[in-house]
Amino acid sequence: MKIALLMPNWIGDAVMALPAMTHLKRKYPQCEFIGVINPYLGEVFSGLDLFSKTIGYQKKSVNKELRFWGAVKKLRQERVDEIILLTNSLRSGLFAWLSGARKRRGYVRSGRRFLLTERYYAEKEDQQWKAVSAVDYYLRLVDGENLAPKQRKPRLVVTDEESMLAEKIWKKFDFGDQKTVVMNAGGAYGSAKHWDDVAFAKLANLVVKQYGANVLFICGPQEKETVKKIVSLADNRKIQSLAEEEVSLSLSKGCIAKSDFVVSTDSGPRHIGAGFGKAAVAIFGPTDPVWSHNYNPNEEIVYHSIGCAPCAKRSCPLGHHDCMKLLQPEVVFKKIEDIDKRLGVFNNSRSPSKTAYIA
Protein backbone atom coordinates (compact mmCIF):
# COMPACT_ATOMS: atom_id res chain seq x y z
CA MET A 1 0.00 0.00 0.00
CA LYS A 2 1.27 3.47 -0.89
CA ILE A 3 0.41 6.53 1.18
CA ALA A 4 1.37 10.04 0.07
CA LEU A 5 1.63 12.97 2.45
CA LEU A 6 1.36 16.56 1.28
CA MET A 7 3.68 18.22 3.78
CA PRO A 8 3.43 21.76 5.23
CA ASN A 9 5.36 24.61 3.61
CA TRP A 10 6.72 26.30 6.77
CA ILE A 11 9.74 25.00 8.69
CA GLY A 12 7.99 25.08 12.05
CA ASP A 13 4.91 23.30 10.75
CA ALA A 14 7.07 20.67 9.07
CA VAL A 15 8.83 19.95 12.38
CA MET A 16 5.51 19.82 14.24
CA ALA A 17 4.26 17.26 11.70
CA LEU A 18 7.03 14.81 12.67
CA PRO A 19 5.14 13.12 15.56
CA ALA A 20 2.26 12.39 13.16
CA MET A 21 4.67 10.90 10.64
CA THR A 22 6.38 8.78 13.29
CA HIS A 23 3.03 7.49 14.56
CA LEU A 24 1.85 6.73 11.03
CA LYS A 25 4.96 4.69 10.22
CA ARG A 26 4.60 2.68 13.42
CA LYS A 27 0.92 2.09 12.76
CA TYR A 28 1.47 0.91 9.17
CA PRO A 29 4.99 -0.59 9.08
CA GLN A 30 4.39 -2.37 5.76
CA CYS A 31 3.27 0.76 3.90
CA GLU A 32 5.35 2.77 1.46
CA PHE A 33 5.28 6.49 2.28
CA ILE A 34 5.83 9.17 -0.34
CA GLY A 35 6.43 12.73 0.78
CA VAL A 36 5.31 15.67 -1.37
CA ILE A 37 7.64 18.36 -0.06
CA ASN A 38 8.92 21.83 -0.81
CA PRO A 39 12.57 21.05 -1.76
CA TYR A 40 13.76 23.74 0.64
CA LEU A 41 12.37 21.75 3.56
CA GLY A 42 14.19 18.59 2.60
CA GLU A 43 17.06 19.68 4.83
CA VAL A 44 14.73 19.64 7.86
CA PHE A 45 14.12 15.93 7.33
CA SER A 46 17.73 15.00 6.50
CA GLY A 47 18.89 11.98 8.46
CA LEU A 48 15.36 10.78 9.14
CA ASP A 49 13.99 7.60 7.58
CA LEU A 50 10.53 8.99 6.87
CA PHE A 51 9.86 8.45 3.19
CA SER A 52 10.72 5.81 0.62
CA LYS A 53 10.52 8.55 -1.98
CA THR A 54 9.94 12.31 -2.14
CA ILE A 55 8.34 14.46 -4.82
CA GLY A 56 9.30 18.11 -4.95
CA TYR A 57 6.45 20.61 -4.97
CA GLN A 58 6.91 24.38 -4.92
CA LYS A 59 3.99 26.25 -6.45
CA LYS A 60 5.99 29.34 -7.47
CA SER A 61 9.14 27.56 -8.64
CA VAL A 62 10.84 28.57 -11.90
CA ASN A 63 11.18 24.82 -12.52
CA LYS A 64 7.96 23.59 -14.14
CA GLU A 65 8.50 20.09 -12.79
CA LEU A 66 8.24 21.44 -9.24
CA ARG A 67 5.07 23.42 -9.85
CA PHE A 68 1.51 22.15 -9.42
CA TRP A 69 1.02 20.15 -12.61
CA GLY A 70 4.55 18.75 -12.61
CA ALA A 71 4.15 17.44 -9.06
CA VAL A 72 0.66 16.08 -9.80
CA LYS A 73 2.01 14.19 -12.82
CA LYS A 74 4.79 12.58 -10.80
CA LEU A 75 2.43 11.58 -8.02
CA ARG A 76 -0.06 10.05 -10.46
CA GLN A 77 2.75 7.88 -11.78
CA GLU A 78 3.21 6.46 -8.28
CA ARG A 79 -0.41 5.19 -8.22
CA VAL A 80 -0.82 5.92 -4.50
CA ASP A 81 -3.72 4.39 -2.61
CA GLU A 82 -4.19 7.29 -0.22
CA ILE A 83 -3.08 10.88 0.25
CA ILE A 84 -3.11 12.73 3.58
CA LEU A 85 -3.19 16.52 3.45
CA LEU A 86 -1.21 18.35 6.13
CA THR A 87 -2.15 21.67 4.53
CA ASN A 88 -5.53 23.41 4.50
CA SER A 89 -5.86 25.14 1.14
CA LEU A 90 -8.32 24.52 -1.65
CA ARG A 91 -5.35 24.07 -3.97
CA SER A 92 -4.08 21.14 -1.87
CA GLY A 93 -7.54 19.56 -2.03
CA LEU A 94 -7.48 19.84 -5.82
CA PHE A 95 -3.96 18.40 -5.82
CA ALA A 96 -5.23 15.39 -3.88
CA TRP A 97 -8.22 14.89 -6.19
CA LEU A 98 -6.00 15.01 -9.29
CA SER A 99 -3.44 12.63 -7.75
CA GLY A 100 -5.64 9.64 -8.51
CA ALA A 101 -5.63 8.47 -4.90
CA ARG A 102 -8.81 6.59 -4.02
CA LYS A 103 -8.70 7.84 -0.40
CA ARG A 104 -8.12 11.53 0.27
CA ARG A 105 -7.84 12.51 3.92
CA GLY A 106 -7.82 16.04 5.32
CA TYR A 107 -9.59 18.79 7.21
CA VAL A 108 -12.70 20.37 5.72
CA ARG A 109 -11.32 23.85 5.15
CA SER A 110 -11.24 26.40 2.32
CA GLY A 111 -14.24 24.94 0.48
CA ARG A 112 -12.61 21.61 -0.34
CA ARG A 113 -15.11 19.27 1.32
CA PHE A 114 -16.21 17.66 -1.95
CA LEU A 115 -12.58 16.86 -2.84
CA LEU A 116 -12.02 14.69 0.25
CA THR A 117 -13.20 11.15 0.92
CA GLU A 118 -12.17 11.11 4.62
CA ARG A 119 -13.25 14.38 6.17
CA TYR A 120 -12.04 15.79 9.48
CA TYR A 121 -13.52 18.84 11.15
CA ALA A 122 -11.49 21.28 13.24
CA GLU A 123 -13.22 22.70 16.30
CA LYS A 124 -14.59 26.24 16.34
CA GLU A 125 -15.06 28.62 19.24
CA ASP A 126 -17.07 31.85 18.87
CA GLN A 127 -17.09 31.37 15.09
CA GLN A 128 -13.29 31.20 15.03
CA TRP A 129 -11.03 28.19 14.72
CA LYS A 130 -10.24 26.94 18.20
CA ALA A 131 -6.54 27.29 19.02
CA VAL A 132 -4.85 23.91 19.14
CA SER A 133 -1.24 22.82 18.80
CA ALA A 134 -0.29 21.98 15.23
CA VAL A 135 1.28 18.81 16.64
CA ASP A 136 -2.16 17.66 17.81
CA TYR A 137 -3.86 18.97 14.68
CA TYR A 138 -1.68 16.74 12.50
CA LEU A 139 -1.83 13.77 14.86
CA ARG A 140 -5.61 13.74 14.67
CA LEU A 141 -5.38 13.09 10.94
CA VAL A 142 -3.41 9.90 11.59
CA ASP A 143 -5.49 8.78 14.61
CA GLY A 144 -2.85 9.65 17.18
CA GLU A 145 -4.94 11.83 19.47
CA ASN A 146 -4.28 9.80 22.63
CA LEU A 147 -0.49 9.77 22.56
CA ALA A 148 1.41 10.70 25.72
CA PRO A 149 3.20 14.10 25.78
CA LYS A 150 6.61 12.47 25.29
CA GLN A 151 5.32 10.83 22.09
CA ARG A 152 4.22 14.23 20.84
CA LYS A 153 7.73 15.70 20.92
CA PRO A 154 9.28 16.21 17.46
CA ARG A 155 12.60 14.48 16.99
CA LEU A 156 15.26 15.60 14.53
CA VAL A 157 18.70 14.21 13.83
CA VAL A 158 21.85 16.03 12.83
CA THR A 159 23.82 14.59 9.93
CA ASP A 160 27.61 14.42 9.70
CA GLU A 161 27.56 17.15 7.05
CA GLU A 162 25.49 19.45 9.26
CA SER A 163 27.80 18.81 12.20
CA MET A 164 30.84 19.64 10.08
CA LEU A 165 29.28 22.92 8.93
CA ALA A 166 28.69 23.92 12.54
CA GLU A 167 32.15 22.82 13.60
CA LYS A 168 33.70 25.19 11.06
CA ILE A 169 31.74 28.09 12.56
CA TRP A 170 32.83 27.16 16.09
CA LYS A 171 36.46 27.12 14.94
CA LYS A 172 36.14 30.38 13.02
CA PHE A 173 34.87 32.23 16.07
CA ASP A 174 37.05 30.30 18.53
CA PHE A 175 34.06 29.15 20.57
CA GLY A 176 35.87 26.01 21.70
CA ASP A 177 34.05 24.05 24.40
CA GLN A 178 32.48 27.13 25.95
CA LYS A 179 28.72 27.28 26.33
CA THR A 180 27.08 28.81 23.28
CA VAL A 181 23.65 30.35 22.88
CA VAL A 182 22.11 30.47 19.43
CA MET A 183 19.78 33.42 18.87
CA ASN A 184 17.36 33.82 15.99
CA ALA A 185 15.99 37.29 15.31
CA GLY A 186 14.23 36.57 12.03
CA GLY A 187 11.14 34.85 10.73
CA ALA A 188 9.64 34.41 7.29
CA TYR A 189 6.11 35.08 8.55
CA GLY A 190 6.44 38.86 8.58
CA SER A 191 7.72 41.94 10.41
CA ALA A 192 5.19 41.61 13.25
CA LYS A 193 7.24 38.82 14.82
CA HIS A 194 10.45 40.84 14.79
CA TRP A 195 11.85 41.94 18.14
CA ASP A 196 13.84 45.17 18.40
CA ASP A 197 17.52 45.01 17.31
CA VAL A 198 18.67 47.01 20.33
CA ALA A 199 16.79 44.67 22.64
CA PHE A 200 18.43 41.61 21.07
CA ALA A 201 21.87 43.20 21.38
CA LYS A 202 21.27 44.00 25.05
CA LEU A 203 19.99 40.49 25.74
CA ALA A 204 23.09 38.98 24.11
CA ASN A 205 25.36 41.11 26.29
CA LEU A 206 23.43 40.09 29.41
CA VAL A 207 24.04 36.43 28.53
CA VAL A 208 27.76 37.04 28.01
CA LYS A 209 28.08 39.01 31.24
CA GLN A 210 26.16 36.55 33.41
CA TYR A 211 27.38 33.24 32.02
CA GLY A 212 30.52 34.01 30.02
CA ALA A 213 28.84 32.20 27.13
CA ASN A 214 29.22 32.82 23.42
CA VAL A 215 26.25 34.08 21.40
CA LEU A 216 25.74 33.19 17.76
CA PHE A 217 23.03 34.89 15.69
CA ILE A 218 21.85 32.62 12.91
CA CYS A 219 20.01 33.97 9.88
CA GLY A 220 18.61 33.33 6.44
CA PRO A 221 19.63 35.29 3.35
CA GLN A 222 17.00 37.98 4.02
CA GLU A 223 18.12 38.56 7.62
CA LYS A 224 21.85 39.10 7.13
CA GLU A 225 21.69 42.88 7.45
CA THR A 226 19.56 42.59 10.58
CA VAL A 227 22.02 40.35 12.41
CA LYS A 228 24.95 42.47 11.24
CA LYS A 229 23.30 45.44 12.89
CA ILE A 230 22.59 43.52 16.11
CA VAL A 231 26.19 42.31 16.38
CA SER A 232 27.46 45.83 15.70
CA LEU A 233 25.20 47.23 18.43
CA ALA A 234 26.34 44.54 20.88
CA ASP A 235 30.02 45.32 20.18
CA ASN A 236 31.35 42.23 21.96
CA ARG A 237 33.79 39.71 20.46
CA LYS A 238 31.86 36.85 22.07
CA ILE A 239 28.77 37.83 20.07
CA GLN A 240 28.96 36.74 16.43
CA SER A 241 26.67 35.95 13.50
CA LEU A 242 26.38 33.97 10.27
CA ALA A 243 25.96 37.16 8.24
CA GLU A 244 29.20 36.61 6.30
CA GLU A 245 28.55 32.92 5.64
CA GLU A 246 26.87 31.08 2.80
CA VAL A 247 23.79 30.45 4.89
CA SER A 248 21.54 27.44 4.51
CA LEU A 249 18.99 25.52 6.50
CA SER A 250 21.60 22.80 7.02
CA LEU A 251 24.04 25.30 8.53
CA SER A 252 21.43 26.73 10.89
CA LYS A 253 20.28 23.24 11.85
CA GLY A 254 23.85 22.15 12.59
CA CYS A 255 24.52 25.23 14.72
CA ILE A 256 21.31 24.75 16.70
CA ALA A 257 22.17 21.09 17.31
CA LYS A 258 25.65 22.04 18.57
CA SER A 259 24.44 24.87 20.81
CA ASP A 260 23.55 24.77 24.49
CA PHE A 261 20.58 27.13 24.46
CA VAL A 262 18.24 28.67 21.88
CA VAL A 263 16.53 32.06 22.00
CA SER A 264 14.19 32.65 19.10
CA THR A 265 11.15 34.48 17.88
CA ASP A 266 8.20 32.25 17.02
CA SER A 267 9.75 30.90 13.83
CA GLY A 268 11.34 27.84 12.26
CA PRO A 269 14.63 27.74 14.24
CA ARG A 270 12.63 27.65 17.48
CA HIS A 271 11.01 24.40 16.35
CA ILE A 272 14.30 22.96 15.13
CA GLY A 273 15.56 23.55 18.66
CA ALA A 274 12.56 21.63 19.96
CA GLY A 275 13.45 18.79 17.61
CA PHE A 276 16.76 18.51 19.45
CA GLY A 277 15.25 18.98 22.91
CA LYS A 278 17.11 22.24 23.44
CA ALA A 279 16.70 24.49 26.43
CA ALA A 280 15.00 27.49 24.87
CA VAL A 281 13.14 30.76 25.28
CA ALA A 282 10.58 31.63 22.61
CA ILE A 283 9.68 35.30 22.15
CA PHE A 284 6.04 35.86 21.21
CA GLY A 285 4.07 38.91 20.14
CA PRO A 286 1.31 38.76 17.50
CA THR A 287 0.80 34.99 17.48
CA ASP A 288 -0.97 32.67 19.92
CA PRO A 289 1.50 30.25 21.59
CA VAL A 290 -1.16 27.53 21.63
CA TRP A 291 -1.03 27.11 17.84
CA SER A 292 2.71 26.43 17.85
CA HIS A 293 3.06 24.49 21.11
CA ASN A 294 5.72 21.91 20.25
CA TYR A 295 5.87 19.85 23.46
CA ASN A 296 9.46 20.84 24.23
CA PRO A 297 9.67 20.45 28.05
CA ASN A 298 12.82 22.58 28.12
CA GLU A 299 11.24 25.65 26.56
CA GLU A 300 9.68 28.74 28.16
CA ILE A 301 7.44 31.28 26.43
CA VAL A 302 7.79 35.01 27.01
CA TYR A 303 5.55 37.83 25.78
CA HIS A 304 4.29 41.27 26.73
CA SER A 305 0.58 41.14 27.51
CA ILE A 306 -1.37 43.68 25.49
CA GLY A 307 -5.06 43.94 24.63
CA CYS A 308 -4.75 43.66 20.84
CA ALA A 309 -2.59 40.52 20.90
CA PRO A 310 -2.59 37.94 19.56
CA CYS A 311 -3.78 39.34 16.25
CA ALA A 312 -1.92 36.86 13.99
CA LYS A 313 -1.16 39.60 11.47
CA ARG A 314 2.05 39.67 9.43
CA SER A 315 2.51 43.37 10.20
CA CYS A 316 0.99 45.41 13.01
CA PRO A 317 -2.46 46.62 11.83
CA LEU A 318 -2.37 49.46 14.38
CA GLY A 319 1.11 50.60 13.43
CA HIS A 320 2.63 50.58 16.94
CA HIS A 321 3.98 46.99 17.23
CA ASP A 322 3.82 47.32 21.03
CA CYS A 323 3.41 43.58 21.63
CA MET A 324 7.10 43.26 20.72
CA LYS A 325 8.46 46.77 21.32
CA LEU A 326 7.39 46.84 24.98
CA LEU A 327 8.96 43.48 25.78
CA GLN A 328 12.13 44.32 27.70
CA PRO A 329 15.38 42.31 27.35
CA GLU A 330 15.58 41.98 31.14
CA VAL A 331 12.26 40.11 31.11
CA VAL A 332 13.53 37.68 28.47
CA PHE A 333 16.80 37.24 30.36
CA LYS A 334 14.87 36.37 33.52
CA LYS A 335 13.33 33.46 31.61
CA ILE A 336 16.82 32.29 30.64
CA GLU A 337 17.83 32.42 34.30
CA ASP A 338 14.73 30.46 35.30
CA ILE A 339 15.52 27.69 32.83
CA ASP A 340 19.15 27.59 33.90
CA LYS A 341 18.12 27.20 37.54
CA ARG A 342 15.83 24.32 36.56
CA LEU A 343 18.11 22.53 34.12
CA GLY A 344 21.64 23.66 34.97
CA VAL A 345 22.37 24.43 31.33
CA PHE A 346 25.37 26.68 31.90
CA ASN A 347 26.91 24.64 34.69
CA ASN A 348 26.16 21.06 33.68
CA SER A 349 27.90 19.43 30.71
CA ARG A 350 25.17 16.77 30.67
CA SER A 351 22.29 19.21 30.37
CA PRO A 352 19.37 18.47 28.03
CA SER A 353 20.88 20.78 25.42
CA LYS A 354 23.58 18.20 24.71
CA THR A 355 21.18 15.49 23.58
CA ALA A 356 21.12 16.24 19.86
CA TYR A 357 20.41 13.08 17.90
CA ILE A 358 23.07 12.15 15.34
CA ALA A 359 22.28 10.30 12.14
CB 230 within 8 A of CB 217: yes
Torsion of CA 24, 27, 30, 31, to 10 degrees: -30
The residue among 197, 193, 262 whose CA lies nearest residue 226 is: 197
Residue 344 clears pLDDT 50, i.e. is over it: yes
Whether residue 55 is found in the same domain as residue 141: yes
The pLDDT tens digits for 220-250 are 999 999 999 999 999 999 999 999 999 999 9
In terms of Cβ atoms closer than 10 Å to its own Cβ (0-12, 13-18, 19+), residue 271 is buried
Helices (H), the chain: 11-16, 18-27, 68-78, 90-98, 134-141, 160-172, 197-211, 224-234, 249-258, 268-275, 322-325, 329-343
The CATH number of residue 172's host domain is 3.40.50.2000
Strand partners, 217: 183, 241
Global pTM value: 0.93
Structural domain that includes position 35: 2-152
Whether residue 161 is found in the same domain as residue 229: yes
Whether residue 133 is found in the same domain as residue 178: no
Whether residue 138 is found in the same domain as residue 181: no
Determine the average pLDDT of the residues in 295-319.
81
Supply the pLDDT for residue 350: 45
Residue 356 clears pLDDT 70, i.e. is over it: no
Whether residue 175 is found in the same domain as residue 37: no
Q: Phi/psi of residue 50, each to 5°?
A: -100, -40
Whether residue 319 is found in the same domain as residue 341: yes
Whether residue 123 is found in the same domain as residue 72: yes
Domain boundary among 90, 123, 152: 152
Domain boundary among 90, 117, 152: 152
Write the CB contacts of 143 (distance below 8 Å, at least 6 apart in sequence).
23, 27
Domain boundary among 90, 119, 152: 152
Whether residue 207 is found in the same domain as residue 338: yes
The residue among 73, 10, 3 whose CA lies nearest residue 35 is: 3
Whether residue 106 is found in the same domain as residue 208: no
**Count of domains for the chain:** 2
Whether residue 164 is found in the same domain as residue 59: no
Residue 75 vs residues 86, 96, 186, 329: alpha-carbon distances, Å: 16, 9, 34, 49
Whether residue 32 is found in the same domain as residue 69: yes
Q: Does the bond joining 39 to the residue before it have cis omega, within 30 degrees of 0?
A: no
The pLDDT tens digits for 35-54 are 999 998 989 999 999 999 99
Torsion of CA 39, 40, 44, 47, to 10 degrees: 50
Instruction: Report the alpha-carbon angle 117-118-122, nearest 5.
Output: 130
For 118-150, the DSSP string reads EEE---EETTEEPP--HHHHHHHHTT-TT--GG
CA–CA separation, 196 and 201 (whole Å): 9
Whether residue 131 is found in the same domain as residue 170: no
Supply the pLDDT for residue 325: 78
